[in-house]
Amino acid sequence: AQTVTQSQPEMSVQEAETVTLSCTYDTSESDYYLFWYKQPPSRQMILVIRQEAYKQQNATENRFSVNFQKAAKSFSLKISDSQLGDAAMYFCAYRINNNDMRFGAGTRLTVKP
């Protein structure tokens, strides 16, 4: 079975600083997709960034970037220049081909002004 583990239930960061959220996953597949989703309080899940396992280059979306270590099965999210609006639950997710997506338990990020 595929599992996704987020070992940090809560993280905090000072506004304008950088924070890294950790995610590891377990799979025997070689081709899959990894995602980070953001869920603000009482609001819907929003896709932050995605990574295809066959790509060695780490994905980047503006202030968000990932460190994808395939051999280690690690997929961390780095948020640079943190903003108050970044405060949310962040979920790491894994998906094989076009099947269903499996999520980690989430990391609650607090941004301090």
Partner 1 sequence: DTGVSQNPRHKITKRGQNVTFRCDPISEHNRLYWYRQTLGQGPEFLTYFQNEAQLEKSRLLSDRFSAERPKGSFSTLEIQRTEQGDSAMYLCASSLVRGLLRDYGYTFGSGTRLTVV
Interface contacts to partner 1, rule CB under 8 A = 4, 6, 33, 35, 37, 43-47, 50, 52, 91, 93, 97-106
CA–CA distance, 34 with 102 (Å, rounded to integer): 10
State which residue, 49 or 111, has the beta carbon closest to partner 1: 49
State which residue, 16 or 104, has the beta carbon closest to partner 1: 104
Inter-residue contact 105 to 96 (CB < 8 Å): no
Residue 35 CB, shortest distance to partner 1, in Å, is 5
Inter-residue contact 25 to 4 (CB < 8 Å): yes
Residue 7 CB, shortest distance to partner 1, in Å, is 13
CA–CA distance, 69 with 7 (Å, rounded to integer): 16
State which residue, 37 or 68, has the beta carbon closest to partner 1: 37
Measured over the CA atoms of residue 75, residue 78, residue 84 and residue 85, the dihedral's sign is negative
State which residue, 6 or 65, has the beta carbon closest to partner 1: 6
What is the enclosing helix (H) or strand (E) of 74?
Answer: strand 74-79
Residue 17 CB, shortest distance to partner 1, in Å, is 25
Residue 92 CB, shortest distance to partner 1, in Å, is 8
